[in-house]
Structure 1
Amino acid sequence: MSQYQRLLLIINPALRHPSAINSAAELAKASGASLHVAALIPSFKWLSLLEEGDRKLARERYLQDHRDWLEAQAKHLRGAGIDVTTEVVWAEDMKQDILDHVAELQPDLLVKEIEHESALKRAFFTPLDWHLLRHCPVPVFLLRRSGAVLPRRVVAAVEVSDSESADNALNERIIKQAASLALQCEAELHLLYACDIAADYLADMGGLALGDLTRTLRKDLEKSFLRLAGHFGVPSDRRHFIQGHPVSALSEFANEHDVDVIVMGRVQSHGVGKLLGSTTEHILYQVPCCVLAV
Protein backbone atom coordinates (compact mmCIF):
# COMPACT_ATOMS: atom_id res chain seq x y z
CA MET A 1 0.00 0.00 0.00
CA SER A 2 1.20 3.51 -0.79
CA GLN A 3 2.30 5.74 2.07
CA TYR A 4 0.05 8.46 0.60
CA GLN A 5 -3.73 8.13 0.73
CA ARG A 6 -4.64 11.83 0.79
CA LEU A 7 -2.66 14.83 -0.45
CA LEU A 8 -3.35 18.47 0.37
CA LEU A 9 -2.11 21.07 -2.11
CA ILE A 10 -2.06 24.75 -1.14
CA ILE A 11 -1.98 27.27 -4.00
CA ASN A 12 -2.37 30.98 -4.62
CA PRO A 13 -5.03 31.05 -7.37
CA ALA A 14 -4.13 34.61 -8.36
CA LEU A 15 -0.84 33.33 -9.82
CA ARG A 16 -2.63 30.76 -11.97
CA HIS A 17 0.43 28.58 -12.44
CA PRO A 18 -0.83 25.04 -13.11
CA SER A 19 2.60 23.45 -12.54
CA ALA A 20 1.99 22.79 -8.84
CA ILE A 21 -1.43 21.33 -9.57
CA ASN A 22 0.00 19.09 -12.29
CA SER A 23 2.85 17.88 -10.08
CA ALA A 24 0.56 17.13 -7.14
CA ALA A 25 -1.94 15.42 -9.46
CA GLU A 26 0.74 13.19 -10.99
CA LEU A 27 1.97 12.22 -7.52
CA ALA A 28 -1.62 11.45 -6.48
CA LYS A 29 -2.08 9.33 -9.60
CA ALA A 30 1.19 7.46 -9.07
CA SER A 31 0.38 6.71 -5.44
CA GLY A 32 -3.37 6.16 -5.83
CA ALA A 33 -4.11 9.01 -3.41
CA SER A 34 -6.90 11.55 -3.47
CA LEU A 35 -5.97 15.20 -3.93
CA HIS A 36 -7.59 18.21 -2.29
CA VAL A 37 -6.60 21.59 -3.74
CA ALA A 38 -7.12 24.50 -1.37
CA ALA A 39 -6.76 27.89 -3.03
CA LEU A 40 -6.22 30.40 -0.23
CA ILE A 41 -6.54 34.09 -1.12
CA PRO A 42 -5.05 36.76 1.16
CA SER A 43 -7.64 39.33 2.11
CA PHE A 44 -7.42 42.61 0.21
CA LYS A 45 -7.27 45.68 2.43
CA TRP A 46 -8.67 47.89 -0.32
CA LEU A 47 -11.99 46.08 -0.09
CA SER A 48 -12.59 47.77 3.26
CA LEU A 49 -12.83 51.09 1.37
CA LEU A 50 -15.99 49.94 -0.41
CA GLU A 51 -19.51 50.18 0.86
CA GLU A 52 -20.66 47.00 2.60
CA GLY A 53 -22.90 45.87 -0.24
CA ASP A 54 -20.29 46.57 -2.90
CA ARG A 55 -17.60 44.92 -0.79
CA LYS A 56 -19.63 41.73 -0.43
CA LEU A 57 -20.38 41.63 -4.17
CA ALA A 58 -16.72 42.27 -5.11
CA ARG A 59 -15.51 39.52 -2.79
CA GLU A 60 -17.99 37.00 -4.15
CA ARG A 61 -17.22 37.83 -7.79
CA TYR A 62 -13.51 37.50 -7.13
CA LEU A 63 -13.98 34.13 -5.42
CA GLN A 64 -16.27 32.84 -8.16
CA ASP A 65 -13.79 33.76 -10.89
CA HIS A 66 -11.10 31.69 -9.18
CA ARG A 67 -13.55 28.85 -8.44
CA ASP A 68 -14.39 28.63 -12.14
CA TRP A 69 -10.71 28.51 -13.09
CA LEU A 70 -9.82 25.90 -10.47
CA GLU A 71 -12.82 23.73 -11.28
CA ALA A 72 -11.74 23.70 -14.94
CA GLN A 73 -8.32 22.43 -13.83
CA ALA A 74 -9.93 19.79 -11.62
CA LYS A 75 -12.31 18.64 -14.36
CA HIS A 76 -9.37 17.93 -16.63
CA LEU A 77 -7.63 15.91 -13.90
CA ARG A 78 -10.76 13.90 -13.10
CA GLY A 79 -10.90 12.96 -16.76
CA ALA A 80 -7.45 11.41 -16.25
CA GLY A 81 -8.79 9.27 -13.40
CA ILE A 82 -7.55 11.38 -10.48
CA ASP A 83 -9.78 11.90 -7.43
CA VAL A 84 -9.69 15.71 -7.00
CA THR A 85 -11.67 18.06 -4.78
CA THR A 86 -11.25 21.84 -4.61
CA GLU A 87 -12.06 24.90 -2.55
CA VAL A 88 -11.38 28.62 -2.87
CA VAL A 89 -11.52 30.68 0.33
CA TRP A 90 -10.22 33.90 1.83
CA ALA A 91 -7.28 33.58 4.22
CA GLU A 92 -7.15 36.07 7.07
CA ASP A 93 -4.01 34.44 8.52
CA MET A 94 -2.24 32.39 5.86
CA LYS A 95 0.13 30.56 8.22
CA GLN A 96 -2.59 29.50 10.63
CA ASP A 97 -5.18 28.81 7.92
CA ILE A 98 -2.87 26.29 6.25
CA LEU A 99 -2.22 24.53 9.56
CA ASP A 100 -5.97 24.52 10.25
CA HIS A 101 -6.56 22.83 6.88
CA VAL A 102 -3.97 20.20 7.77
CA ALA A 103 -5.61 19.59 11.14
CA GLU A 104 -9.06 19.28 9.58
CA LEU A 105 -8.21 17.17 6.52
CA GLN A 106 -5.45 15.03 8.07
CA PRO A 107 -3.49 14.57 4.82
CA ASP A 108 -0.47 12.29 4.55
CA LEU A 109 1.43 15.05 2.78
CA LEU A 110 1.21 18.83 2.48
CA VAL A 111 2.25 20.05 -0.98
CA LYS A 112 3.08 23.67 -1.81
CA GLU A 113 5.27 25.70 -4.15
CA ILE A 114 8.40 27.27 -2.67
CA GLU A 115 8.02 31.01 -2.09
CA HIS A 116 11.30 32.85 -2.51
CA GLU A 117 11.94 35.53 0.09
CA SER A 118 14.84 37.98 0.08
CA ALA A 119 17.58 37.67 2.68
CA LEU A 120 16.61 41.09 4.02
CA LYS A 121 12.99 40.08 4.51
CA ARG A 122 14.02 36.77 6.11
CA ALA A 123 16.07 38.73 8.64
CA PHE A 124 12.94 40.42 9.99
CA PHE A 125 10.07 38.04 9.20
CA THR A 126 9.73 34.26 9.31
CA PRO A 127 8.89 33.10 5.76
CA LEU A 128 5.68 31.12 5.34
CA ASP A 129 7.59 28.03 4.15
CA TRP A 130 9.87 28.13 7.20
CA HIS A 131 6.82 28.41 9.44
CA LEU A 132 5.33 25.29 7.85
CA LEU A 133 8.61 23.40 8.19
CA ARG A 134 8.65 24.20 11.89
CA HIS A 135 5.02 23.64 12.76
CA CYS A 136 3.28 21.38 10.22
CA PRO A 137 2.56 17.95 11.80
CA VAL A 138 2.82 16.06 8.48
CA PRO A 139 5.64 15.86 5.89
CA VAL A 140 5.93 18.99 3.74
CA PHE A 141 6.67 18.69 0.00
CA LEU A 142 7.88 22.05 -1.31
CA LEU A 143 7.86 22.25 -5.10
CA ARG A 144 10.07 24.24 -7.40
CA ARG A 145 8.11 25.59 -10.35
CA SER A 146 10.64 24.49 -12.95
CA GLY A 147 10.91 20.95 -11.58
CA ALA A 148 9.88 17.72 -13.29
CA VAL A 149 6.22 16.70 -12.99
CA LEU A 150 7.36 13.43 -11.41
CA PRO A 151 10.84 12.98 -9.93
CA ARG A 152 13.40 10.82 -11.72
CA ARG A 153 16.17 11.07 -9.11
CA VAL A 154 15.42 11.22 -5.38
CA VAL A 155 18.14 11.85 -2.77
CA ALA A 156 17.73 10.98 0.91
CA ALA A 157 19.99 13.39 2.84
CA VAL A 158 20.81 11.80 6.19
CA GLU A 159 22.74 12.79 9.31
CA VAL A 160 25.19 10.27 10.77
CA SER A 161 27.55 10.27 13.74
CA ASP A 162 30.50 8.16 14.81
CA SER A 163 28.32 6.34 17.36
CA GLU A 164 24.76 5.12 17.75
CA SER A 165 22.47 8.10 18.25
CA ALA A 166 18.92 9.38 18.16
CA ASP A 167 19.52 10.33 14.52
CA ASN A 168 18.80 6.71 13.57
CA ALA A 169 15.03 7.09 13.98
CA LEU A 170 14.96 10.24 11.87
CA ASN A 171 17.25 8.71 9.25
CA GLU A 172 14.89 5.75 9.00
CA ARG A 173 11.92 8.04 8.39
CA ILE A 174 13.87 10.03 5.80
CA ILE A 175 14.99 6.93 3.90
CA LYS A 176 11.58 5.26 4.02
CA GLN A 177 9.88 8.41 2.71
CA ALA A 178 12.47 8.75 -0.05
CA ALA A 179 12.33 5.06 -0.96
CA SER A 180 8.55 5.03 -1.14
CA LEU A 181 8.49 8.20 -3.26
CA ALA A 182 11.11 6.77 -5.61
CA LEU A 183 9.24 3.46 -5.89
CA GLN A 184 5.91 5.11 -6.69
CA CYS A 185 7.49 7.43 -9.27
CA GLU A 186 9.88 4.82 -10.71
CA ALA A 187 12.78 7.09 -9.80
CA GLU A 188 16.36 6.40 -8.73
CA LEU A 189 17.00 6.49 -4.97
CA HIS A 190 20.32 7.89 -3.74
CA LEU A 191 21.66 8.25 -0.19
CA LEU A 192 23.84 11.22 0.75
CA TYR A 193 25.65 12.56 3.79
CA ALA A 194 27.44 15.92 3.75
CA CYS A 195 30.33 15.61 6.19
CA ASP A 196 31.32 18.88 7.85
CA ILE A 197 33.80 17.74 10.48
CA ALA A 198 34.92 21.23 11.46
CA ALA A 199 31.40 22.32 12.34
CA ASP A 200 30.38 19.05 13.96
CA TYR A 201 33.35 18.37 16.19
CA LEU A 202 36.36 20.67 16.12
CA ALA A 203 34.50 23.68 17.50
CA ASP A 204 34.30 21.80 20.80
CA MET A 205 38.04 21.07 20.86
CA GLY A 206 39.47 24.55 21.06
CA GLY A 207 40.03 24.78 17.32
CA LEU A 208 42.70 22.07 17.30
CA ALA A 209 42.17 20.89 13.73
CA LEU A 210 44.71 18.06 13.94
CA GLY A 211 45.19 16.07 10.74
CA ASP A 212 45.14 12.65 12.42
CA LEU A 213 42.01 13.54 14.37
CA THR A 214 40.09 14.71 11.33
CA ARG A 215 41.09 11.65 9.31
CA THR A 216 39.96 9.34 12.13
CA LEU A 217 36.67 11.15 12.54
CA ARG A 218 36.04 11.10 8.82
CA LYS A 219 36.66 7.35 8.66
CA ASP A 220 34.31 6.73 11.58
CA LEU A 221 31.58 8.83 9.97
CA GLU A 222 32.04 7.11 6.63
CA LYS A 223 31.77 3.69 8.29
CA SER A 224 28.51 4.77 9.97
CA PHE A 225 27.19 6.05 6.65
CA LEU A 226 28.07 2.81 4.84
CA ARG A 227 26.43 0.74 7.59
CA LEU A 228 23.27 2.81 7.19
CA ALA A 229 23.33 2.44 3.41
CA GLY A 230 23.92 -1.30 3.69
CA HIS A 231 21.08 -1.69 6.17
CA PHE A 232 18.64 -0.21 3.66
CA GLY A 233 20.15 -1.96 0.65
CA VAL A 234 21.26 1.17 -1.20
CA PRO A 235 23.53 0.16 -4.14
CA SER A 236 27.16 1.24 -3.83
CA ASP A 237 26.97 3.53 -6.88
CA ARG A 238 24.11 5.47 -5.23
CA ARG A 239 25.89 6.14 -1.93
CA HIS A 240 27.41 9.62 -1.69
CA PHE A 241 29.66 10.57 1.23
CA ILE A 242 30.73 14.12 0.43
CA GLN A 243 32.59 16.79 2.37
CA GLY A 244 31.49 20.35 2.94
CA HIS A 245 28.86 22.48 4.63
CA PRO A 246 25.47 20.76 4.11
CA VAL A 247 23.79 23.70 2.37
CA SER A 248 26.53 24.34 -0.19
CA ALA A 249 27.42 20.65 -0.60
CA LEU A 250 23.82 19.61 -1.23
CA SER A 251 23.29 22.49 -3.63
CA GLU A 252 26.37 21.57 -5.67
CA PHE A 253 25.43 17.90 -5.69
CA ALA A 254 21.86 18.63 -6.80
CA ASN A 255 23.13 20.80 -9.65
CA GLU A 256 25.76 18.34 -10.84
CA HIS A 257 23.53 15.23 -10.68
CA ASP A 258 20.17 16.62 -11.89
CA VAL A 259 18.43 15.82 -8.61
CA ASP A 260 14.65 16.30 -8.65
CA VAL A 261 13.84 15.87 -4.94
CA ILE A 262 15.93 16.03 -1.76
CA VAL A 263 14.32 14.34 1.24
CA MET A 264 15.55 15.81 4.53
CA GLY A 265 14.75 15.87 8.21
CA ARG A 266 13.27 18.97 9.73
CA VAL A 267 15.10 18.51 13.05
CA GLN A 268 18.85 17.89 13.21
CA SER A 269 20.27 16.94 16.59
CA HIS A 270 23.90 18.02 16.34
CA GLY A 271 26.50 19.92 14.37
CA VAL A 272 25.34 22.70 12.08
CA GLY A 273 21.75 21.53 12.54
CA LYS A 274 21.41 22.31 16.24
CA LEU A 275 18.86 24.97 15.36
CA LEU A 276 15.45 23.62 14.43
CA GLY A 277 15.47 22.80 10.75
CA SER A 278 18.13 25.38 9.95
CA THR A 279 19.80 23.38 7.19
CA THR A 280 16.51 22.40 5.58
CA GLU A 281 15.18 25.95 5.77
CA HIS A 282 18.17 27.49 4.04
CA ILE A 283 18.32 24.68 1.48
CA LEU A 284 15.04 25.99 0.02
CA TYR A 285 16.76 29.03 -1.45
CA GLN A 286 19.89 27.21 -2.66
CA VAL A 287 19.01 23.94 -4.34
CA PRO A 288 17.51 23.80 -7.86
CA CYS A 289 15.05 21.03 -6.94
CA CYS A 290 12.07 20.21 -4.75
CA VAL A 291 12.45 19.50 -1.02
CA LEU A 292 10.47 16.91 0.95
CA ALA A 293 10.85 17.64 4.67
CA VAL A 294 10.14 14.82 7.12
Structure 2
Amino acid sequence: MSQYQRLLLIINPLLRESAAINHAAALAKASGARLHLLALIPSLDGLSLLETGDRQQAREALLQDHRQALEARAVKLRDRRIEVTIEVDWAADVEQRILAHVKAYAPDLLIKEIEQVSALRRAFYTPLDWQLLRDCPVPVYLVGGSGYVLPRKVLAAVEVSDIESADNSLNEQIIRQASALAIQCDAELHLLYACDISAAYLANMGELPLAELTRSLREDLQKSFLRLAGHFGVASSQRHFIEGRPVTVLSEFADEQHVDVIVMGRVRKRGLSKWLGSTTEHILYQVPCCVLAV
Protein backbone atom coordinates (compact mmCIF):
# COMPACT_ATOMS: atom_id res chain seq x y z
CA MET A 1 0.00 0.00 0.00
CA SER A 2 1.24 3.51 -0.81
CA GLN A 3 2.56 5.54 2.12
CA TYR A 4 1.18 8.78 0.62
CA GLN A 5 -2.14 9.65 -1.01
CA ARG A 6 -2.03 13.47 -1.29
CA LEU A 7 0.92 15.84 -1.53
CA LEU A 8 0.66 19.64 -1.33
CA LEU A 9 3.52 21.61 -2.88
CA ILE A 10 3.92 25.31 -2.13
CA ILE A 11 5.58 27.23 -4.97
CA ASN A 12 6.98 30.73 -5.17
CA PRO A 13 5.54 31.80 -8.54
CA LEU A 14 8.23 34.46 -8.92
CA LEU A 15 10.93 31.77 -9.28
CA ARG A 16 11.47 30.41 -12.77
CA GLU A 17 12.86 27.12 -11.49
CA SER A 18 11.99 25.20 -8.34
CA ALA A 19 13.89 22.16 -7.09
CA ALA A 20 10.88 21.37 -4.93
CA ILE A 21 8.78 20.54 -8.02
CA ASN A 22 11.24 17.82 -9.04
CA HIS A 23 11.30 16.36 -5.51
CA ALA A 24 7.51 16.45 -5.16
CA ALA A 25 7.01 14.94 -8.60
CA ALA A 26 9.45 12.09 -7.90
CA LEU A 27 7.71 11.30 -4.63
CA ALA A 28 4.27 11.49 -6.23
CA LYS A 29 5.40 9.18 -9.03
CA ALA A 30 6.88 6.65 -6.60
CA SER A 31 3.82 6.62 -4.35
CA GLY A 32 1.03 7.19 -6.88
CA ALA A 33 -0.08 10.18 -4.81
CA ARG A 34 -2.06 13.11 -6.15
CA LEU A 35 -0.01 16.30 -6.28
CA HIS A 36 -1.52 19.76 -5.82
CA LEU A 37 0.64 22.74 -6.85
CA LEU A 38 -0.25 25.89 -4.92
CA ALA A 39 1.32 29.21 -5.92
CA LEU A 40 0.53 32.17 -3.69
CA ILE A 41 1.42 35.71 -4.73
CA PRO A 42 1.90 38.23 -1.90
CA SER A 43 -0.26 41.32 -2.41
CA LEU A 44 1.66 43.93 -4.38
CA ASP A 45 1.55 47.42 -2.88
CA GLY A 46 2.43 48.93 -6.25
CA LEU A 47 -0.94 47.95 -7.67
CA SER A 48 -2.68 50.17 -5.12
CA LEU A 49 -1.36 53.21 -7.00
CA LEU A 50 -3.45 52.31 -10.04
CA GLU A 51 -7.07 53.28 -10.61
CA THR A 52 -9.60 50.70 -9.42
CA GLY A 53 -10.39 49.39 -12.92
CA ASP A 54 -6.74 49.30 -13.97
CA ARG A 55 -5.77 47.60 -10.71
CA GLN A 56 -8.29 44.81 -11.16
CA GLN A 57 -7.21 44.30 -14.76
CA ALA A 58 -3.54 44.20 -13.75
CA ARG A 59 -4.25 41.69 -10.99
CA GLU A 60 -6.12 39.35 -13.34
CA ALA A 61 -3.46 39.65 -16.04
CA LEU A 62 -0.70 38.78 -13.57
CA LEU A 63 -2.65 35.82 -12.19
CA GLN A 64 -3.32 34.55 -15.70
CA ASP A 65 0.37 34.74 -16.61
CA HIS A 66 1.33 32.70 -13.55
CA ARG A 67 -1.48 30.19 -14.13
CA GLN A 68 -0.32 29.58 -17.68
CA ALA A 69 3.29 29.12 -16.55
CA LEU A 70 2.28 26.70 -13.79
CA GLU A 71 -0.10 24.80 -16.07
CA ALA A 72 2.77 24.29 -18.54
CA ARG A 73 4.74 22.63 -15.74
CA ALA A 74 1.73 20.53 -14.77
CA VAL A 75 1.30 19.28 -18.34
CA LYS A 76 4.84 17.92 -18.32
CA LEU A 77 4.14 16.10 -15.05
CA ARG A 78 0.90 14.64 -16.39
CA ASP A 79 2.88 13.34 -19.36
CA ARG A 80 4.75 11.27 -16.74
CA ARG A 81 1.37 9.92 -15.51
CA ILE A 82 1.38 11.98 -12.33
CA GLU A 83 -2.04 13.25 -11.22
CA VAL A 84 -1.57 17.02 -10.84
CA THR A 85 -3.84 19.96 -10.06
CA ILE A 86 -2.81 23.61 -9.82
CA GLU A 87 -3.97 26.77 -8.09
CA VAL A 88 -2.66 30.34 -8.24
CA ASP A 89 -4.01 33.12 -6.06
CA TRP A 90 -3.22 36.27 -4.12
CA ALA A 91 -2.40 36.10 -0.42
CA ALA A 92 -2.28 38.96 2.06
CA ASP A 93 -1.05 36.50 4.70
CA VAL A 94 0.83 33.65 3.01
CA GLU A 95 1.18 31.45 6.09
CA GLN A 96 -2.53 31.60 6.93
CA ARG A 97 -3.49 30.82 3.35
CA ILE A 98 -1.16 27.82 3.35
CA LEU A 99 -2.61 26.56 6.63
CA ALA A 100 -6.14 27.01 5.29
CA HIS A 101 -5.24 24.89 2.24
CA VAL A 102 -3.68 22.25 4.49
CA LYS A 103 -6.91 22.05 6.47
CA ALA A 104 -9.04 21.80 3.33
CA TYR A 105 -6.81 19.45 1.32
CA ALA A 106 -5.55 17.28 4.23
CA PRO A 107 -2.25 16.29 2.58
CA ASP A 108 0.06 13.61 3.92
CA LEU A 109 2.98 15.99 3.39
CA LEU A 110 3.35 19.72 2.89
CA ILE A 111 6.33 20.25 0.57
CA LYS A 112 8.19 23.53 0.13
CA GLU A 113 11.64 24.67 -0.95
CA ILE A 114 13.80 26.05 1.86
CA GLU A 115 14.01 29.83 1.74
CA GLN A 116 17.54 30.89 2.62
CA VAL A 117 17.29 33.68 5.20
CA SER A 118 20.33 35.35 6.74
CA ALA A 119 20.89 35.35 10.50
CA LEU A 120 20.49 39.15 10.51
CA ARG A 121 17.08 38.96 8.85
CA ARG A 122 16.01 36.12 11.17
CA ALA A 123 16.78 38.40 14.12
CA PHE A 124 14.07 40.83 13.00
CA TYR A 125 11.34 38.61 11.61
CA THR A 126 10.26 34.99 11.68
CA PRO A 127 10.88 33.21 8.34
CA LEU A 128 7.89 31.54 6.69
CA ASP A 129 9.60 28.14 6.97
CA TRP A 130 9.88 28.57 10.75
CA GLN A 131 6.22 29.62 10.95
CA LEU A 132 5.17 26.47 9.10
CA LEU A 133 7.36 24.28 11.30
CA ARG A 134 5.60 25.69 14.35
CA ASP A 135 2.01 25.80 13.13
CA CYS A 136 1.45 23.27 10.33
CA PRO A 137 -0.60 20.27 11.54
CA VAL A 138 0.93 17.83 9.00
CA PRO A 139 4.57 16.81 8.40
CA VAL A 140 6.57 19.49 6.57
CA TYR A 141 9.04 18.39 3.87
CA LEU A 142 11.49 21.24 3.23
CA VAL A 143 13.60 20.79 0.11
CA GLY A 144 17.25 21.78 0.21
CA GLY A 145 20.65 20.60 -0.99
CA SER A 146 21.45 19.05 -4.33
CA GLY A 147 21.03 15.33 -3.72
CA TYR A 148 18.75 12.80 -5.40
CA VAL A 149 15.19 13.98 -6.00
CA LEU A 150 14.07 10.58 -4.72
CA PRO A 151 15.88 9.87 -1.43
CA ARG A 152 18.41 7.05 -1.29
CA LYS A 153 19.44 7.56 2.35
CA VAL A 154 16.99 8.71 5.03
CA LEU A 155 18.21 9.67 8.51
CA ALA A 156 15.91 9.71 11.56
CA ALA A 157 17.30 12.09 14.21
CA VAL A 158 15.99 11.11 17.63
CA GLU A 159 16.28 12.46 21.19
CA VAL A 160 16.72 10.03 24.09
CA SER A 161 17.87 12.37 26.87
CA ASP A 162 14.63 11.92 28.80
CA ILE A 163 12.91 8.62 28.14
CA GLU A 164 10.09 9.48 30.53
CA SER A 165 9.10 12.61 28.59
CA ALA A 166 7.01 13.17 25.48
CA ASP A 167 10.25 12.73 23.50
CA ASN A 168 9.66 8.98 23.47
CA SER A 169 6.32 9.36 21.69
CA LEU A 170 7.88 11.87 19.32
CA ASN A 171 10.74 9.46 18.62
CA GLU A 172 8.22 6.87 17.48
CA GLN A 173 6.57 9.40 15.15
CA ILE A 174 9.97 10.38 13.73
CA ILE A 175 11.04 6.80 13.09
CA ARG A 176 7.70 5.74 11.63
CA GLN A 177 7.67 8.74 9.28
CA ALA A 178 11.30 8.11 8.27
CA SER A 179 10.56 4.42 7.75
CA ALA A 180 7.50 5.21 5.61
CA LEU A 181 9.57 7.53 3.42
CA ALA A 182 12.39 4.99 3.12
CA ILE A 183 9.97 2.21 2.18
CA GLN A 184 8.23 4.38 -0.41
CA CYS A 185 11.53 5.38 -2.02
CA ASP A 186 13.38 2.08 -1.52
CA ALA A 187 15.97 3.98 0.53
CA GLU A 188 18.26 3.08 3.43
CA LEU A 189 16.97 4.03 6.89
CA HIS A 190 19.55 5.27 9.42
CA LEU A 191 19.04 6.30 13.05
CA LEU A 192 21.14 8.94 14.81
CA TYR A 193 21.34 10.48 18.27
CA ALA A 194 23.60 13.47 18.91
CA CYS A 195 24.76 13.07 22.51
CA ASP A 196 25.43 16.52 23.94
CA ILE A 197 26.46 16.19 27.60
CA SER A 198 27.22 19.67 28.86
CA ALA A 199 28.44 20.81 32.26
CA ALA A 200 25.19 22.75 32.70
CA TYR A 201 23.19 19.55 32.17
CA LEU A 202 25.27 17.78 34.83
CA ALA A 203 25.13 20.56 37.41
CA ASN A 204 22.37 18.99 39.52
CA MET A 205 23.42 15.35 39.21
CA GLY A 206 24.98 14.84 42.66
CA GLU A 207 28.46 14.66 44.17
CA LEU A 208 30.18 12.25 41.76
CA PRO A 209 33.31 13.48 39.93
CA LEU A 210 32.44 15.09 36.61
CA ALA A 211 34.35 12.53 34.50
CA GLU A 212 32.60 9.58 36.18
CA LEU A 213 29.22 11.25 35.98
CA THR A 214 29.72 12.01 32.28
CA ARG A 215 30.70 8.42 31.54
CA SER A 216 27.74 7.02 33.49
CA LEU A 217 25.25 9.32 31.76
CA ARG A 218 26.71 8.55 28.35
CA GLU A 219 26.33 4.81 28.95
CA ASP A 220 22.70 5.26 30.03
CA LEU A 221 21.91 7.34 26.96
CA GLN A 222 23.57 4.85 24.65
CA LYS A 223 21.59 1.98 26.16
CA SER A 224 18.36 3.93 25.65
CA PHE A 225 19.34 4.66 22.06
CA LEU A 226 20.15 1.01 21.33
CA ARG A 227 16.86 -0.13 22.87
CA LEU A 228 15.00 2.33 20.66
CA ALA A 229 16.89 1.19 17.55
CA GLY A 230 16.30 -2.46 18.41
CA HIS A 231 12.60 -1.90 18.98
CA PHE A 232 12.22 -0.61 15.43
CA GLY A 233 14.55 -3.18 13.89
CA VAL A 234 17.20 -0.72 12.67
CA ALA A 235 20.28 -2.63 11.54
CA SER A 236 23.39 -2.29 13.74
CA SER A 237 25.37 -0.78 10.86
CA GLN A 238 22.73 1.94 10.50
CA ARG A 239 22.69 3.08 14.14
CA HIS A 240 24.78 6.15 14.91
CA PHE A 241 25.44 7.38 18.47
CA ILE A 242 27.65 10.45 18.08
CA GLU A 243 28.84 12.90 20.74
CA GLY A 244 28.50 16.60 20.02
CA ARG A 245 26.07 19.45 19.53
CA PRO A 246 23.04 18.35 17.46
CA VAL A 247 23.28 20.95 14.68
CA THR A 248 27.00 20.30 14.18
CA VAL A 249 26.68 16.51 14.37
CA LEU A 250 23.75 16.35 11.94
CA SER A 251 25.34 18.77 9.48
CA GLU A 252 28.67 16.93 9.38
CA PHE A 253 27.07 13.48 9.24
CA ALA A 254 24.69 14.48 6.44
CA ASP A 255 27.58 15.88 4.43
CA GLU A 256 29.99 12.98 5.00
CA GLN A 257 27.41 10.20 4.54
CA HIS A 258 25.50 11.83 1.65
CA VAL A 259 22.17 11.85 3.47
CA ASP A 260 19.25 12.92 1.28
CA VAL A 261 16.62 13.59 3.97
CA ILE A 262 16.85 14.16 7.72
CA VAL A 263 13.63 13.40 9.60
CA MET A 264 13.36 15.39 12.84
CA GLY A 265 10.80 16.28 15.47
CA ARG A 266 9.36 19.69 16.09
CA VAL A 267 7.71 21.11 19.19
CA ARG A 268 5.78 24.30 19.69
CA LYS A 269 7.86 26.78 21.63
CA ARG A 270 6.74 29.62 23.84
CA GLY A 271 8.52 32.61 25.31
CA LEU A 272 12.18 33.28 24.52
CA SER A 273 12.79 29.82 23.01
CA LYS A 274 10.18 30.63 20.34
CA TRP A 275 12.27 33.55 19.13
CA LEU A 276 15.60 31.74 19.34
CA GLY A 277 14.33 28.88 17.20
CA SER A 278 14.58 25.13 17.72
CA THR A 279 17.30 22.76 16.54
CA THR A 280 15.05 21.77 13.64
CA GLU A 281 14.61 25.39 12.62
CA HIS A 282 18.31 26.20 12.68
CA ILE A 283 19.27 22.97 10.90
CA LEU A 284 17.56 24.27 7.76
CA TYR A 285 20.47 26.59 7.06
CA GLN A 286 23.22 24.11 7.96
CA VAL A 287 22.56 20.75 6.31
CA PRO A 288 23.15 19.96 2.62
CA CYS A 289 19.90 18.03 2.22
CA CYS A 290 16.14 18.03 2.72
CA VAL A 291 14.48 18.13 6.14
CA LEU A 292 11.23 16.34 6.99
CA ALA A 293 9.80 17.78 10.22
CA VAL A 294 7.28 15.69 12.16
Q: TM-score range by the shorter chain?
A: over 0.9
Q: C-alpha distance in 2, partners of 1:246/1:173?
A: 19
Number of positions where the alignment pairs a residue of Structure 1 with one of Structure 2: 291
1:258 is matched with 258
Alignment of 1:32-47 (within 5 A): 32-47=32-47
Q: C-alpha distance in 2, partners of 1:16/1:160?
A: 42
Offset at 1:121?
1.3
Instruction: Encode CA deviations 1:48-106: one digit per residue, 9 max, x unaligned.
Output: 11111211111111111111111111111111111100011011111111111111111
> Is the aligned partner of 1:67 residue 2:67?
yes
2:159 is matched with 159
CA contact (8 A) 2:134 2:268 kept: no
1:284 is matched with 284
Offset at 1:146?
2.7
2:187 is matched with 187
Offset at 1:148?
2.0
1:139 maps to a residue whose letter is P
2:109 is matched with 109
Q: CA 1:164 to 1:145, structure 2 compared with 1: closer, same or farther past 3 Å?
A: closer
Instruction: Encode CA deviations 1:173-195: one digit per residue, 9 max, x unaligned.
Output: 10011011011111111000000
Instruction: Encode CA deviations 1:193-216: one digit per residue, 9 max, x unaligned.
Output: 000011773244599870000001
CA contact (8 A) 1:268 1:275 kept: no
TM-score (ref. length: structure 2): 0.93
Unmatched runs of 5 consecutive residues or more in structure 1: none
Unmatched runs of 5 consecutive residues or more in structure 2: none
2:68 maps to a residue whose letter is D
Instruction: Encode CA deviations 1:19-58: one digit per residue, 9 max, x unaligned.
Output: 2112101111111210100011111110111111211111
Q: CA RMSD in A?
A: 2.2
2:115 maps to a residue whose letter is E
Moved more, 138-147 or 45-54: 138-147
1:22 is matched with 22
Q: CA 1:45 to 1:162, structure 2 compared with 1: closer, same or farther past 3 Å?
A: closer
Moved more, 142-151 or 71-80: 142-151
Instruction: Encode CA deviations 1:129-151: one digit per residue, 9 max, x unaligned.
Output: 01000000000000016332111
Identity fraction in percent: 71
Q: C-alpha distance in 2, partners of 1:123/1:209?
A: 39
CA contact (8 A) 1:189 1:238 kept: yes
